[in-house]
């Protein structure tokens, strides 16, 4: 049996989950207060986004001290209590290790700026070339990836915000410092780790301009990345722990190497190709309807190839960097319930370890913001300016943000139907989704056929049904607009069929319509089994013996 095949991870965006001290910002004690809810949902791990000391330019992904707690989230005592209280309920914590870069407010960077050579070697400082940036690489948040420091006469590399300076992993001292961070949290009883953009840590030996792209082809899955990961994992003794790497613009081949148990790197990996099927020409800021054929083919490729080579996928549609899948691939209005469940089934039915992002289990939609001052995210604010500078009208730029902003996924959790949603007792740091009526934990707790109840069932089934946790997967040739696959294990066959369209679609094969109906995103079982209703997701089990 594969490790973590029966597990389910729940991701908490700490700033938006639950506010215990009424300052409008989610915090650690707030999470403790919701542990019973999470235990009842049945999840095994909680991945918490970074809550360490930080100037919060990128909401904590700019870490200034890996061992201290940002006071707005609580204290070390709170964190220790959270770990202990979760453990009591059979839940383990996963902390987010942002090791590609630090905040420019980190002590190492400050000492580098103050002229200490030793700490300049912790980062990637380069001399100007022809009086300009060392390369033409672009930051993922817009603009140059280099920032000039006049006092040093040098540039430093930042693949993200200019306040997130990339670390120099070639320096063994840096690698040792980061191992110490892992050991520190492991000793506190943390059950696993998520590694932020970890496939970007190894930069190339030669620095050159990218004439066809933004530079990513030079540092993505870079020359020493596997070596560095193996070393980090071996030296901190986390090879058998729950670990997941966030892999930016990666390939299946690379992810097989990151996750194959014999490599002793990571337990699983996030990849993002399936979340670009609505990017026009691969550009996040150009809108396009989702291409479901491409979505289906990407899932098929990743699932089947990872399986054949013993890799392991982290399964997900949502996280704090993505707009809500229900608004993107489903229908967050008329078919909210049906499409919310269907998307859940599509993800949870596959081979891998499913991740649920807070609010997904109740069908939280996109934010629906219509003015720029509702947005908080650094990437959104940067791109708003870039879009405007490139000639988009204010209305056009806002329309793009409404679809693509990361703030869509960051709105505070909807616990109740009250004004502040049971999240806080005052205006939160980021507004609630405009369209939120009937979307709350409180409301859905009382309904047997809620999205929430369906997710609970999905989590439970993965623990009970071996075909779901261990089965081989093969994708079926279903009509366009639908995605279907089968799982097989010891004479059992599970068939999952999902309709991603707002119209009914006929499914040709009779063979897929046999067996016991295990799950359906509609409350009423189908009257005509040869048709998938709009946004219907259906799972059947067949016993071949
Ligand atoms: C990852 C995080 C994202 C962050 C970026 C830089 O992609 O998920 O939120 O902005 O890394 O740390
Ligand atoms: Ca608070």
Q: How far is 102 from 460, CA to CA, in rounded Å?
A: 39
Return phi, psi of residue 475, to 5°: -85, 145
Q: Does residue 131 come out as left (phi exceeding 0), alpha (psi in the -120 to 50 range) or beta?
A: left
The domains spanning 9-102+172-365+413-455 and 107-165 adopt the same CATH topology: no
Q: What is the dihedral of CA 300, 306, 307, 313, to 10 degrees?
A: -90
Query: What are the pLDDT tens digits along the chain (545 aa)?
Result: 789 999 999 999 999 999 999 999 999 999 999 999 999 999 999 999 999 999 999 999 999 999 999 999 999 999 999 999 999 999 999 999 999 999 999 999 999 999 999 999 999 999 999 999 999 999 999 999 999 999 999 999 999 999 999 999 999 999 999 999 999 999 999 999 999 999 999 999 999 999 999 999 999 999 999 999 999 999 999 999 999 999 999 999 999 999 999 999 999 999 999 999 999 999 999 999 999 999 999 999 999 999 999 999 999 999 999 999 999 999 999 999 999 999 999 999 999 999 999 999 999 999 999 999 999 999 999 999 999 999 999 999 999 999 999 999 999 999 999 999 999 999 999 999 999 999 999 999 999 999 999 999 999 999 999 999 999 999 999 999 999 999 999 999 999 999 999 999 999 899 999 999 999 999 999 999 999 999 999 999 999 86
The residue nearest atom 9 of ligand 1, judged by CA position, is 321
Up-side HSE of residue 465: CA atoms within 13 Å toward CB? 26
pLDDT of residue 545: 64
- The reply to whether ligand 1 has any atom less than 6 angstroms from the CB of 160 is yes
- Pocket of ligand 1, candidates 54, 58, 64: which has the most ligand atoms within 8 Å of its Cβ, to mutate? 58
Q: How far is 64 from 66, CA to CA, in rounded Å?
A: 7
- The reply to whether ligand 1 has any atom less than 6 angstroms from the CB of 272 is no
Up-side HSE of residue 126: CA atoms within 13 Å toward CB? 23
CA angle 277, 282, 284 (to 5 degrees): 85
Task: Write down the catalytic residue from 19, 27, 44, 246.
Answer: 246
Q: Which CATH number fits domain 107-165: 3.40.718.10, 3.30.750.24, 3.40.1190.20, 3.90.400.10?
A: 3.90.400.10
State the residue for tokens 């998307």.
Answer: 343
Q: Does residue 60 come out as left (phi exceeding 0), alpha (psi in the -120 to 50 range) or beta?
A: left
The residue nearest atom 12 of ligand 1, judged by CA position, is 61
Task: Write down the catalytic residue from 19, 44, 133, 196.
Answer: 196
Q: What is the dihedral of CA 342, 344, 348, 354, to 10 degrees?
A: 160
Check: CB of residue 410 under 8 Å from CB of residue 15: yes
Nearest partner of 16 among 62, 39, 47, 49, judged by Cα: 49
CATH 3.40.50.2300 corresponds to the domain 472-543: no
For the CA of 62, the nearest atom of ligand 1:
12
Centre of ligand 2 from the C-alpha of residue 242, in Å: 29
Query: The domain 9-102+172-365+413-455 belongs to what CATH superfamily?
Result: Glycosidases (3.20.20.80)
Q: How far is 429 from 374, CA to CA, in rounded Å?
A: 10
Active site residue 246: yes
- Pocket of ligand 1, candidates 48, 95, 162, 196: which has the most ligand atoms within 8 Å of its Cβ, to mutate? 196
For the CA of 61, the nearest atom of ligand 1:
12
Q: How far is 207 from 211, CA to CA, in rounded Å?
A: 13
pLDDT of residue 508: 87
- The reply to whether ligand 1 has any atom less than 6 angstroms from the CB of 196 is yes
Note the ligand closest to the C-alpha atom of 27. 2
Check: CB of residue 223 under 8 Å from CB of residue 172: no
pTM of the prediction? Answer: 0.98
Check: CB of residue 272 under 8 Å from CB of residue 248: yes
β-pairing, 505-506 vs 531-532, is antiparallel
β-pairing, 92-97 vs 192-195, is parallel
Other CB atoms closer than 10 Å to residue 294's CB: what's the count? Answer: 14
Centre of ligand 2 from the C-alpha of residue 20, in Å: 5
Q: How far is 496 from 514, CA to CA, in rounded Å?
A: 12
Nearest partner of 229 among 249, 258, 256, 188, judged by Cα: 258
User: In the chain, where are the structural domains located?
Assistant: 9-102+172-365+413-455, 107-165, 370-404, 472-543
Note the ligand closest to the C-alpha atom of 409. 1
pLDDT of residue 60: 98
């Amino acid at each position: 049996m594969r490790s973590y095949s029966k597990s389910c991870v729940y991701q908490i965006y700490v700033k938006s989950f639950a506010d215990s001290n009424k300052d409008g910002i989610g915090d650690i004690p707030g999470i403790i207060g919701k542990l019973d809810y999470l235990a009842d949902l049945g999840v095994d791990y909680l991945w918490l986004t970074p809550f360490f000391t930080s100037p919060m330019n990128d909401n904590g992904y700019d870490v200034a001290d890996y061992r201290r707690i940002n006071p707005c989230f609580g204290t070390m005592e709170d964190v220790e209590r959270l770990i202990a209280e979760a453990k009591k309920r059979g839940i383990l914590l996963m902390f987010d290790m942002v090791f590609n870069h630090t905040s420019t407010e980190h002590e190492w960077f400050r000492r580098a700026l103050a002229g200490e050579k030793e700490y300049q070697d912790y980062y990637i400082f380069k001399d100007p070339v022809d009086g300009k940036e060392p390369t033409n690489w672009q930051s993922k948040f817009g603009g140059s990836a280099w920032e000039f420091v006049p006092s040093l006469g040098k540039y430093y590399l930042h693949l993200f915000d200019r306040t997130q300076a990339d670390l120099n992993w070639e320096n063994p001292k840096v690698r040792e410092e980061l191992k110490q961070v892992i050991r520190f949290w492991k000793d506190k009883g943390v059950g696993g780790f998520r590694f932020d953009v970890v496939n970007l840590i190894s930069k190339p030996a030669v620095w050159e301009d990218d004439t066809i792209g933004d530079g990513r082809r030079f540092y993505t899955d870079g020359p020493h990345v596997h070596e560095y990961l193996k070393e980090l994992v071996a030296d901190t003794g986390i090879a058998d722990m729950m670990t997941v790497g966030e892999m930016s613009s990666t390939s299946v081949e690379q992810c097989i190497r990151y996750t194959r148990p014999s490599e002793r790197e990571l337990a699983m990996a996030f990849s993002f190709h399936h979340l670009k099927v609505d990017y026009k020409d691969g550009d996040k800021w150009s809108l396009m309807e989702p291409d479901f054929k491409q979505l289906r083919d990407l899932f098929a490729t990743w699932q089947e190839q990872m399986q054949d080579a013993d890799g392991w996928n982290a399964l997900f549609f949502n996280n704090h960097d993505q707009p809500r899948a229900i608004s993107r691939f489903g229908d967050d209005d008329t078919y909210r319930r049906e499409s919310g469940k269907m998307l859940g089934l599509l993800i949870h039915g596959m081979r891998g370890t499913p991740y649920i992002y807070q609010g997904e289990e109740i069908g939280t939609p996109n934010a629906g913001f219509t003015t720029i001052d509702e947005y908080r995210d650094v990437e959104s604010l940067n791109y708003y300016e870039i879009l405007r500078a490139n000639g988009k009208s204010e209305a056009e730029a806002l329309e793009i943000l409404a679809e693509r902003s990361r703030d869509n996924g960051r709105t505070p959790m909807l616990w109740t139907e009250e004004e502040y949603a049971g999240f806080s007792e005052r205006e939160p740091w980021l507004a609630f989704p405009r369209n939120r009526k009937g979307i709350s934990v409180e409301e859905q707790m009382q309904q047997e056929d809620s999205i929430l109840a369906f997710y609970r069932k999905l989590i439970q089934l993965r623990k009970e049904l071996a075909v779901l946790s261990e089965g081989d997967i093969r994708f079926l040739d279903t009509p366009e607009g639908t995605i279907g696959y089968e799982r097989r294990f010891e004479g059992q066959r599970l068939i999952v069929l999902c309709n991603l369209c707002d119209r009914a679609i006929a499914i040709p094969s009779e063979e897929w319509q046999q067996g016991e109906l295990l799950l359906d995103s509609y409350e009423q079982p189908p009257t005509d089994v040869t048709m998938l209703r709009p946004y219907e997701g259906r799972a059947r089990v067949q016993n071949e013996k």
